[in-house]
Amino acid sequence: MSSAKSPYPSAERLDLVDHLHGYDIPDPYRWLEDPADPRTGAWSGAQDELTAARLAALPGRDRLAARLRGLLDAGSVSAPLWRAGRAFLVRRTPGQEHAVVLVREPQPDGTTVERVLLDPMLLDPDGLTTLDSWVPDLEGRRLAYQVSRGGDENSVLHVMDVGAGELVEKPIDRCRYSDVAWLPGGEEIVFVRKVADGEVPAGEENLHRRIWRHRIGADTSTDVLIEGPGLYEDHNYYGVHVSRDGRWLVVSANVGTARRDSVWIASLDGDRTGELVPILTQADDVQAAAWVERDGLLHVLTTDGAPRWRLCVTEPERPQREHWRELVAEDPESVLEGVRRLEPPPGSDEEPLLVLVRARHAVAELALHALDGTPRGTVPLPGTGSVAGVSVADRDTPAEYGRLWLGWTDLVTPYQVQRFDRATGETVLVEAAPGEVDVPDVHTEQLEFVSADGTTVRMFVIRPATAPTGPVPTLVTGYGGFGITREPAYTPTALTWVEAGGVYALVSLRGGGEEGEAWHLAGNRANKQNVFDDLHSACERLVADGVTTPAQLAIMGGSNGGLLVGAALTQRPDLYRAVVCSAPLLDMIRYEQFSLGRTWNDEYGTADDAGELGWLLSYSPYHHVHTGTTYPAVLFTVFDSDTRVDPLHARKMCAALQHATAGDPDTRPVLIRRETDVGHAGRSVSRTVALSVDQLAFLAVHTGLELR
């Protein structure tokens, strides 16, 4: 379409071409990378006006908002974390914007009292402050927690006295993605902190961290730096673990988001931290989570020789791989995700058991094993769903031994708490989600289909309980990256869509972790096209089965899932009618130059390498927008405070699509919705509802879904 007739804000097209490794790479909207450029400001303001008017006119918005709010008002509750008789948990009740941290405490008369410890809305009535993490000390007397504001994820660490509810520590900044481990006694922590300004080249502060031993209440200038061989060479992210007896410190580290772990162990003796001894390095090219259990053995959960993970043990004094003893071998059909030690009930002569958290095709399972690895049965679960946290009583709460708490959800069940009792062998509901909610009557199933290269892939499908007589509007989503597993969980947007008469599908794409590390590797780097092929094949299966048609088919994804749908709409514009692309990566040639981009090159590849540049160019959505193509209706949703994925990706792609599309702008519009004071992840319930209303109303009107 000519610019003279375009209903979209004017966007200058530059005659700018990069020459990299023999490739000529046009970048006509380079100027939209700079938010301070007056042209970017003017363009964004004009897009805001256009999008606000178009979204406000969509039908069914009030009904959507009411239904989404109702489903979200189911709230949620977490499994308790036990500390010396106190139980710490998180709960969100109807009407609350954010979940709050609570503590349950036994009273002398045998009753239990529950009280709020931390409410983000009391910290910030505007609702812009989010709780990023929290962990009580081993005695349950102090709580370390991290909060950030406006979505920037630049967490500040605080320490609270649990009894008094008062802070006992000055705020500690630079704690973004910072792990915290308590030493026994509650007087010291080992924690991770970003380097200070000036310690590294400007703009690289988010890429460098250090591990410190800190005494509560002391000035951070007196903190003791933890050092070890190779500890701060190239690694970006760190995890820390202190054994319950305070004898051992385990440190893990990663290079960006690469799924390889470096691991060290050091002895702790009073104020002295021993030498960090390497267990694994990046050269070993495996993943591992390591901890010292109450029996004094070092446990290692690892992909070493086992893409679906196995469990090994050794003595902490001999932590190297040649000394490992395999306790539980890899299961070829399920992924081992976690381990807990379950003590026998008080007064029982039964043996302690290991609880293994597994996922079979993304569906949760719990298996019981003896300490020598011998199978001892399974834990019954409520159905086909996900375990959202598993906890057992700590060493100082023996009255609760023999019980296992698990957060539980499935496609129609809000987050609740179930408890398994060894004495009875039963799993029972102990706390439902706090809000009354009328979940629509739906049918759920997990289907198999074959992707382009013959690989069997699975997807969860939610349909109305009464089968439609013909094809209906269908919304498909997935992620397919970084080894992240998308499990079946309560999703108000999905239920709202299906209640209105549509079908919703969640695809277990390659690139994720649904089938272990081999599944991840089959969808990253040179294999990234497999992810897009899996999505295309899932949608083609739904069309072939008569569930939907291309004219009724919508796709939605965010972050790496935004890249997914961005690539999908450029590769198969004929297959999709409407797209929501949220916080996306779209310019895969320059993604490393912004925000945390360079930490993702192990997942995608780097434009600095000629061969890897070829991978990126083969699918980079921004570089596959072609003039004269009829593209689907597209809504980009971006967040100005996003410090992970820069909104520039969506700005450039939006401008490119608005220029190129041959579609009618009234029936196939390309819009960008911009939001301030919110970032990539946590947000209030009201913000969640507002965003979801715009997204679902947009998809509904362009696929013919009547929002009743």
421-447 per-position pLDDT tens digit: 999 999 999 999 999 999 999 999 999
Query: What rounded mean pLDDT belongs to the chain?
Result: 96
HEC string of 240-271 equals EEECCCCCEEEEEEECCCCCCCEEEEEEEECC
Q: How confident is the model at residue 65 (pLDDT cuts 50, 70, 90)?
A: very high
Lowest-confidence segment of 117-126, 457-466, 547-556, 677-686 by average pLDDT: 677-686
Q: How confident is the model at residue 2 (pLDDT cuts 50, 70, 90)?
A: very low
657-687 per-position pLDDT tens digit: 999 999 999 999 999 999 998 999 889 999 9
Q: How confident is the model at residue 3 (pLDDT cuts 50, 70, 90)?
A: very low
Choose the catalytic residue: 559, 582, 595, 620: 559
Torsion angle defined by CA atoms of residues 597, 482, 505 and 663, in that order, rounded to the nearest 10 degrees: 30
pLDDT score, position 682: 86
Look at the alpha carbons of 653, 659, 660, 665 in this order and tell me if their dihedral is positive or negative: positive
What's the mean pLDDT in 598-623? 97
How far apart CA 297 and CA 324 sit, in angstroms, is 11
pTM (two decimals): 0.96
Angstrom CA distances, 277 to 82, 230, 318, 319, stand at 31, 11, 10, 8
Burial profile 11-50: b = 16 or more Cβ within 10 angstroms, e = fewer: beeeeeeeeeeeeebebbbbbbbeeeeeebeebbeebeeb
Read out DSSP for 368-397? EEETTS-EEEE---SSSEEEEEEEE--TT-
What's the mean pLDDT in 191-204? 92
How far apart CA 299 and CA 398 sit, in angstroms, is 22
pLDDT score, position 202: 87
pLDDT score, position 203: 84
What's the mean pLDDT in 587-604? 96
Asked if 559 is an active-site residue, the reply is: yes
Q: Which of 538, 490, 529 is nearest to 511 (CA)?
A: 529
Angstrom CA distances, 500 to 97, 266, 411, 461, 699, stand at 26, 57, 16, 15, 12
Asked if 641 is an active-site residue, the reply is: no
> DSSP 3-state assignment of 548?
coil
**What crossing angle do the helices spanning 492-499 and 61-72 adopt, rounded to 10°?**
130
How far apart CA 403 and CA 420 sit, in angstroms, is 6
The answer to whether 523 touches 480, Cβ cutoff 8 Å, is yes
What's the mean pLDDT in 561-578? 98
What's the mean pLDDT in 19-37? 97
What's the mean pLDDT in 528-548? 98
How far apart CA 690 and CA 121 sit, in angstroms, is 18
* AA letter at 690: A
Q: Which of 499, 470, 556 is nearest to 708 (CA)?
A: 499
**What crossing angle do the helices spanning 38-56 and 685-703 adopt, rounded to 10°?**
70
Alpha carbon distance, N-terminus to C-terminus of the chain: 36
pLDDT score, position 531: 98
Q: How confident is the model at residue 6 (pLDDT cuts 50, 70, 90)?
A: confident
HEC string of 587-611 equals CCCCHHHCCCHHHHHHHHCCCCCHH
What's the mean pLDDT in 347-368? 96
pLDDT score, position 681: 86
CB-based burial label for 549 (10 Å; 0-12, 13-18, 19+): middle
CB neighbour list of residue 215: distance below 8 Å, 6 or more residues apart = 187, 188, 222, 223
What's the mean pLDDT in 17-32? 97
Q: Examine the pLDDT at 183 and tell me if it is beyond 70.
A: yes
What's the mean pLDDT in 279-292? 97
Choose the catalytic residue: 98, 623, 659, 680: 680
Q: How far is CA 379 from the centre of its chain?
A: 26
pLDDT score, position 204: 87
Q: How confident is the model at residue 263 (pLDDT cuts 50, 70, 90)?
A: very high
pLDDT score, position 433: 97
Q: Examine the pLDDT at 451 and tell me if it is beyond 50.
A: yes
Angstrom CA distances, 389 to 292, 345, 357, stand at 20, 21, 10
Structure tokens at 564: 């997914």
pLDDT score, position 423: 93
β-pair type (224-225, 209-215): antiparallel
Q: Examine the pLDDT at 4 and tell me if it is beyond 60.
A: no
Establish how many alpha carbons lie within 13 A of residue 2's alpha carbon, considering only the half-sphere containing its beta carbon.
2
What's the mean pLDDT in 199-207? 88
Q: Examine the pLDDT at 547 and tell me if it is beyond 50.
A: yes
pLDDT score, position 77: 98
pLDDT score, position 1: 38
Burial profile 87-124: b = 16 or more Cβ within 10 angstroms, e = fewer: bbbbbbebebbbbbbbbeeeeeeeeeeeeebbbbeebe
